[in-house]
Amino acid sequence: MIRAISVDMDGTFLDENGEYNRARFERIYAELVKHQIKFIVASGNQYYQLKSFFPGKDEELFYVAENGAVIFHQGELRSVNRFEERLVQKILRTLIQDYQDLQVILCGVKSAYLLKAADSNFKTFAKKYYFELQEVDSFDVLPDDTFIKFALDVEVTKTGQIVEDLNQMFNGEIRAVASGHGSIDIIIPGVTKGSAIQQLLNEWRVTPDDLLAFGDANNDIEMLQLTPNSYAMQESSPEVFATAKYIAPSNKEAGVLQVIEDYMEKSQRP
């Protein structure tokens, strides 16, 4: 019996326009509440952006944001995993000195930060995903925050190589992972959407067999590995297809909502 549902957002829950059928979700969500099924928004994106998709539900939903580095519920920070300041400075020096053609966002709990000198198109892109975003003159002096992730924008064709290079260069101190469309996240080793969701399941005394999970990119793999009820979206990476047990219809066709509706309908049959 399903007792929790976790969904990635971009490319999974959201359609190609970055939206979802809100009226349809409201009907489904009312059924989830009735059956005491918890709903987890699990994304590489910032909490402040994620909650904007669910007005009026910030008190109810669970947010696994920044690829599992933070968990928010009822507007409060429930859990945080942080980089040491020394390592933050080392990563920034490497990115700025060795990869002049990439754009970088330093992600903190209170805000995200980018350089004032960043590409204007990248700034526009960043504002779409980071509702709390500050521009800084340089990263020589770090802002007063707790740092949990780095988000990079690179040429799509270079994504795989840069991921490999960074993981070799930092040798276990960090984990670089592709999150789709030329985006790379640098995260804390062992901290993933999957580890954060497992933490919640432990709190709720829910087994992974009672979790329904949806994803499309490589930063969803650990979440999908948790449960036999795992779905890759129709347009997923090869690694996600190899991980998930089932394939959901496209995010362009509200595939997540279709699958949840099917589960709810089956669970109510005599």
Q: Which tokens in the block code for residue 62?
A: 């669970």
Beta strand spans in 34-174 (E): 38-42, 62-65, 70-73, 76-80, 103-108, 112-115, 133-136, 147-153
- Distance between CA atoms of residues 68 and 64, nearest Å: 5
Q: What angle do CA 68, 126, 165 make, to 5 degrees?
A: 60
- Distance between CA atoms of residues 42 and 221, nearest Å: 12
The stretches of the chain forming alpha helices (DSSP H) are 22-34, 47-50, 85-98, 120-129, 159-170, 193-204, 221-225, 238-243, 255-267
Whether 98 is catalytic is no
Instruction: Given the residues 8, 153, 185, 220, select the one marked as catalytic.
Output: 8
Dihedral of the alpha carbons of 232, 235, 237, 242, in degrees to the nearest 10: 40
User: Hey, which residues are catalytic here?
Assistant: 8
